[in-house]
Chain A
């Protein structure tokens, strides 16, 4: 089965990102395919490379990045939601005159079309939110 995952909330504030990660990991372990993980609303905050969570707790961002590395996952942060919330990659910094970037290299910023495409191309859409 091909899954599309939507994450609507940022790291730590809500359990959504954790649940989405654990679901995604379990699905991969069972041999399913994850077409795309799409981060929307505050979920775009999962894509920052600048978090320093306490050492004795899970590292939400790195966990996603490691899973993406291991399974070649497509982690997409919505551009409109990202712009609103200050999630910036090199392209966005240049286009919008920002003096810094914060996007983790394992994530990419793209349009809402990527969410729609994921829903069209996958067998199941699973949404994690608040």
Chain B
């Protein structure tokens, strides 16, 4: 079974991102949205966690990045930027959604 994990809180505010990373299995995906997009930014403590997650695909919601003034160049390499349509597709393509609030 492949899961879509969602994280919507900043990794600097809450442990939701850290907790998600501790439970995500290979073949699953993580979508960062709302304040969770801060975990997709280069040069942060989160960058290492994102890069070292084996077999996990990362996505960040473009509209939340833009809202927060975070340009695409700031996004960690390998994190794919998606829109809400992409979010919907991810939810449909994976077998279920696990929300780390």
Contacts and interface: CB of A to CB of B under 8 A. Distances in A.
Query: Direct contact between A and B in the complex (CB less than 8 angstroms)?
Result: yes
A19 to B, nearest CB: 6
Q: Which of B9, B84, B87 has the most CB of A within 10 A?
A: B84
Contacts of A98: none
Nearest to A18: B34
**List of 9 A-B pairs having minimum Cβ-Cβ separation, nearest first:** A129-B101, A26-B84, A127-B99, A1-B92, A15-B34, A27-B88, A26-B88, A126-B97, A22-B84
Given A8-B101, A19-B33, A130-B101, A125 B96 contact: yes
A98 to B, nearest CB: 31
Contacts of B33: 19
B91 A3 contact: yes
Given A125-B97, A127-B97, A32 B34 contact: no
Given A15-B34, A30-B85, A126 B91 contact: yes
A128 to B, nearest CB: 7
A124 B101 contact: no
Q: Which of B91, B96, B97 has the most CB of A within 10 A?
A: B91
B76 interface: no
A124 B99 contact: no
B87 A26 contact: yes
**Interface range for A:** 20 to 34
Interface string A94-130: 0000000000000000000000000000011111111
B19 to A, nearest CB: 14
A15 B88 CA distance: 17
A23 B97 contact: no
B87 A124 contact: no
A29 B86 CA distance: 12
A124 B91 contact: yes
A19 B63 CA distance: 10
Nearest to A1: B92
Contacts of A8: 101
